[in-house]
Every structure is written in C-alpha cells, then in structure tokens.
Amino acid sequence: MNTNDDEFKEALFGKVGAKNTPKAYIAALRRLLKTSVAYLGEVDGTKRRVYWINGRSLGWLECRGSHDLGATIDGQVIQLNVAYVALKVDIDRSNDKAESGRVLSISASHGDRIKLDASPASVPDSEEREKIETFIDQVLSAIAGHSISGT
C-alpha cells in the first residue's frame, strides 16, 4: 500500500483499525467517498463499516475479513427523504457525572435499518462518541435538506 492509501485508511478507521484492511475495500471506498460531504468509519474486530452522505442519500459499505481473498464486501444507499428516522438520547448515570449520547435509527422502505449509536454504554471513548455525534448532526442536516460542510 502506498502512503496515500495508509493515510486514507487511518482517516477512516484510526491507526489500529487501518491495519489489514483489504485493498478491494479501500478501492471501492475511494470511489464511493469521492463526492461525499461527510463520512464515518467504524471498526469491530475484522469488520469495518463506513457511512457517507451525498446530497439526500446515506450509504454504507461493510467489509468482513482482513484480506482480499477472504473478504466479504457489501453495502447499500438509501434516500433520506423516504426513510423513517428515530432519534433518542441515552444517559449514562453510572459515574459521578451523567454522560449522554444520541442514537439515530434510520429505516429504509425495504426494512433495512442503519443505527448510529453514540451512547456512552456503546462507545465509552468520548473522542469516538464525538465523531459519531458530529456525523449524526450531518445526517440530520441532510434530512432537513440543508447543505453541510465536509468531514
């Protein structure tokens, strides 16, 4: 991988999450994110998912596996103007200070659901929570039809 690929992966997944990301997945993401105005990358073991906004569309592409030969890559794009959107705020009162985070659920007309979870119970790292909160703001702006600045 060249340095540009390494920087691209780190911008999406951080240093640790960028390791062993299949080249085919990175190539597909480069094409899909080329015209996006905002994006968010998530890592869970060898599963990676990137969400992006392009106009009134929200897409995601997921990769399971760490090498091209064994990877499974799939995703979808939904129109935000035909999606059902639910938003709730979770409050974690388990420590001395109450922390909150939003959970945004978007259901497409065909039943698939996208869930962006910034609740303290799901994402203990406050810096990661803030990235998700910022992306939730950007999704809500896209739903409202406002132009948004890029990530």
CA R_g for the chain = 16
Decide if pLDDT at 2 tops 50: no
* pTM exceeding 0.85: no
Read off the amino acid at residue 50.
V
pLDDT digits over 41-98, tens only?
999 988 999 999 998 899 999 999 888 888 999 999 888 877 677 888 877 777 666 7
